[in-house]
Amino acid sequence: METTLRPEQIEQLIQAAIKAGRCAYAPYSRFNVGAALLAANHSIYAGCNIENASFGLTICAERAAVANAIADGCRDFLALAVVAQSEGGSLTPCGACRQVLAEFNPHLTVICSNGIGQTRILRLDDLLPYRFEFSPQR
């Protein structure tokens, strides 16, 4: 199911992601990332990257936003904005985040922005066409 967002919704998500990115804990990379997840109930859940000296323990902004939503009892998502200030253009979620997002909505609208005017709107199933799926036997 494809989600059609109004321009003001896109801007609202980008601004929420920018705000979240200001709270990032990124002492190693100095690369702040913010994410804002739009739920079907129109709530917005934000997240930021949280680095760790043991790099594998770093939490991406997108997964932090998902964790915030799940902790609030929400599992139905329509869109995600991810913002990282990059002069080279907007960045997309990493593979791990793509897989986590696909668990909840493989057709999620993904808004990628560099916070300085460059924005791309993509679909998660285009970013991750062959996601891992598990069907437990009953």
**Is 62 a residue of the active site?**
yes
Phi and psi at 107, nearest 5°, equal: -105, 15
Residues 48 and 33: beta-carbon distance below 8 Å:
yes
Residues 78 and 3: beta-carbon distance below 8 Å:
yes
Size of the chain, expressed as the number of residues it contains: 138
| Secondary structure (3-state) at 113 | strand
Catalytic member of 2, 11, 51, 62: 62
Angle at 44 between CA 120 and CA 133, to 5 degrees: 70
Residues forming the active site: 62
